Amino acid sequence: MNPESLSFIFLSAFLINNFVLALFLGLCPFVGVSAKRDTAFNMALATAFVMFVSSSCSYAINLVLTAFDLEFLRLISYIALIASSVQLVEMILKKFSPALFRALGIFLPLITTNCAILGVALFQTSRGYDFLQSVSFSLGAGAGFGLAIILMAGLREKLELSNLPNITQAAALSMMLAGILSLTFMGFAGLGTTV
């Protein structure tokens, strides 16, 4: 497959280089919000949405920064951009879809410090993606994050019902589970390699 094609970029961010399980981005919500499937689903939705918005905006802002030779401001402007796009998403949701806003609730502000979002912006810049490629990349990354966190939540709900030794409490067992999930996702590496 052509590694520059839109479908391959999507597939690569979604499965082959899954943001959580292969690149270790966005682990805080992955461990913190994966106890229940409903909340995990909402978190995944919110993250994917913010990822899409901030990725498109950071593409635009990178053009401006490059035009004025201000690359050293890239990190600061991306972070400010993500924080403000989270607030923007919050306001838009509050106005147009109060039901969804209530469901996402506290997760929205948390997304600001989700490294997966900044990761999308930084990776698309360093790989020199054009606008459509960036969109496809951010959609794939959002879908991949959602897949990983929902799979994890399903596994953890099953664990609630089983009898476990004390020492596996807290995050120890979640990490082991994530390791096994990550191992299975490595099977997708056969689909092709990317940068």
Residue 69 beta carbon to other proteins: minimum distance, rounded to whole angstroms: 15
Residue 58 CA to residue 122 CA, distance in Å, equals 9
N-to-C CA span, the chain: 13
Q: Does 88 bind other proteins (CB under 8 A)?
A: no
Site for other proteins in 48-77 (CB under 8 A): 72, 75-76
Cβ pair 139, 52 in contact under 8 A? yes
If the CB atoms of residues 97 and 180 are measured against other proteins, the closer one turns out to be: 180
Q: Does 91 bind other proteins (CB under 8 A)?
A: no
180 burial type by CB count under 10 A (0-12 exposed, 13-18 middle, 19+ buried): exposed
Residue 97 beta carbon to other proteins: minimum distance, rounded to whole angstroms: 23
Among 45, 113, 155, 188, contact with other proteins (rule: CB under 8 A)? 113
Residue 64 beta carbon to other proteins: minimum distance, rounded to whole angstroms: 18
Stretch that binds other proteins, among 8-16, 49-57, 150-158, 181-189 (CB under 8 A): 181-189
Residue 41 beta carbon to other proteins: minimum distance, rounded to whole angstroms: 19
If the CB atoms of residues 2 and 126 are measured against other proteins, the closer one turns out to be: 126
Q: Does 176 bind other proteins (CB under 8 A)?
A: yes
Q: Does 132 bind other proteins (CB under 8 A)?
A: no
Amino acid identity of residue 19, one-letter, is: F
Q: Does 118 bind other proteins (CB under 8 A)?
A: yes
Question: What are the residues binding other proteins (CB under 8 A)?
Answer: 21-28, 31-32, 72, 75-76, 79-80, 83, 106, 110, 112-115, 117-119, 122-123, 126, 166-176, 178-180, 182-183, 186
